[in-house]
Amino acid sequence: MEVVRLPLTFFQTQVQYLRQRFSWVATTPVNYKLYVVGASWAIWGFESYLQWRQYPHLSKKEVPQILADSLDQETFEKSQAYGRAKAKFGFWSGLYSRVLDTGILYYGMWAWSWGVADSVVQYYAPGTSHEIWQTLITCGIQMVFGIITDLPVSVYHTFWLEAAHGFNKTTPTVFVTDLIKGFFVQIAIGVPFLAAFTKLLRWAGDSFVPAVMSFLVAFIVVMQIIYPVLIQPLFNKLSPLAEGELRSRIEKLASGLNYPLKKLYEIDGSKRSSHSNAYMYGLPWSKHIVIYDTLIEQSKPDEVEAVVAHELGHWYYNHPMKLMLVSQLHIFAILTASSVFLHAPPLLKAFDFPDSVAQNPPMQLSFFLFQLLLTPAEAVISFGMNAISRYYEWQADEFAAQLPSRLKSKGFDEKDDMGERLGRALKTLHIKNLSTVWVDWLYSAYHNSHPTLMERLKALKGFETDSHAKSRKEL
Ligand SMILES: [Zn+2]
**pLDDT over 60 at 475, yes or no:** no
pLDDT by residue (tens digit) across 344-387?
Answer: 899 999 999 999 888 888 888 998 999 999 988 888 898 899 99
Residue 396 alpha carbon to ligand 1 centre in Å? 6
Nearest Cα to Cα of residue 232 among 197, 282, 191: 282
Tell me: domain 236-298, CATH 3.30.2010.10, correct?
yes
pLDDT by residue (tens digit) across 78-105?
Answer: 888 898 999 999 999 999 999 999 999 9
The pLDDT confidence band at residue 274, using thresholds 50, 70 and 90, is: low
The pLDDT confidence band at residue 339, using thresholds 50, 70 and 90, is: confident
Measured between alpha carbons, how far is 453 from 118 in angstroms, rounded to an integer? 53
339 contacts 206 by C-beta, under 8 angstroms: yes
Residue 449 alpha carbon to ligand 1 centre in Å? 9
Measured between alpha carbons, how far is 330 from 320 in angstroms, rounded to an integer? 15
Residue 395 alpha carbon to ligand 1 centre in Å? 9
Relative to beta strand 261-267, strand 286-292 is: parallel
If you count them, how many residues does the chain have?
A: 475
Indicate the annotated binding residues for Zn(2+). Answer: 310, 314, 393
Our CA angle for 120, 192, 353, nearest 5°, is 40
pLDDT value for 276: 59
Catalytic, out of 118, 397, 414, 464: 397
Residue 309 alpha carbon to ligand 1 centre in Å? 10
User: What value does the mean pLDDT of the chain take?
Assistant: 87
- Looking at residues 409-418, what average pLDDT do you find? 78
β-pair partners for 188: none
Measured between alpha carbons, how far is 175 from 170 in angstroms, rounded to an integer? 6
Catalytic, out of 47, 311, 352, 464: 311
pLDDT value for 472: 46
14 contacts 350 by C-beta, under 8 angstroms: no
pLDDT value for 92: 94
CA 297, 299, 302, 306 torsion: positive or negative? Answer: negative
pLDDT by residue (tens digit) across 169-181?
Answer: 888 998 999 899 9
282 Rama class: left (phi>0) / alpha (psi -120 to 50) / beta: left
Residue 397 alpha carbon to ligand 1 centre in Å? 8
Q: Is residue 101 annotated as a catalytic residue, yes or no? A: no
Measured between alpha carbons, how far is 475 from 316 in angstroms, rounded to an integer? 27
135 contacts 194 by C-beta, under 8 angstroms: yes
**pLDDT over 90 at 47, yes or no:** yes
pLDDT by residue (tens digit) across 104-148?
Answer: 999 999 999 999 998 998 888 877 778 889 999 999 999 999 999
pTM to 2 decimal places: 0.83
The pLDDT confidence band at residue 227, using thresholds 50, 70 and 90, is: confident
- Exposure letters 131-141 (e unless 16+ CB within 10 A, then b): bbbbbbbbbbb
Residue 393 alpha carbon to ligand 1 centre in Å? 5
Question: Of 97-101, 143-147, 414-418, 456-460, where does mean pLDDT reach its minimum?
Answer: 414-418
**pLDDT over 90 at 304, yes or no:** yes
Q: Is residue 397 annotated as a catalytic residue, yes or no? A: yes
Measured between alpha carbons, how far is 411 from 405 in angstroms, rounded to an integer? 10
Q: Where are the domains of the chain?
A: 177-234, 236-298
The pLDDT confidence band at residue 3, using thresholds 50, 70 and 90, is: low
Q: Tell me what percent of the residues of the chain surpass a pLDDT of 90.
A: 40
- Looking at residues 213-241, what average pLDDT do you find? 86
204 contacts 211 by C-beta, under 8 angstroms: yes
- Looking at residues 296-324, what average pLDDT do you find? 92
pLDDT value for 278: 83
pLDDT value for 431: 86
Measured between alpha carbons, how far is 284 from 312 in angstroms, rounded to an integer? 13
Indicate the annotated binding residues. Answer: 310, 314, 393
Residue 311 alpha carbon to ligand 1 centre in Å? 6
pLDDT by residue (tens digit) across 185-201?
Answer: 899 999 999 999 989 98
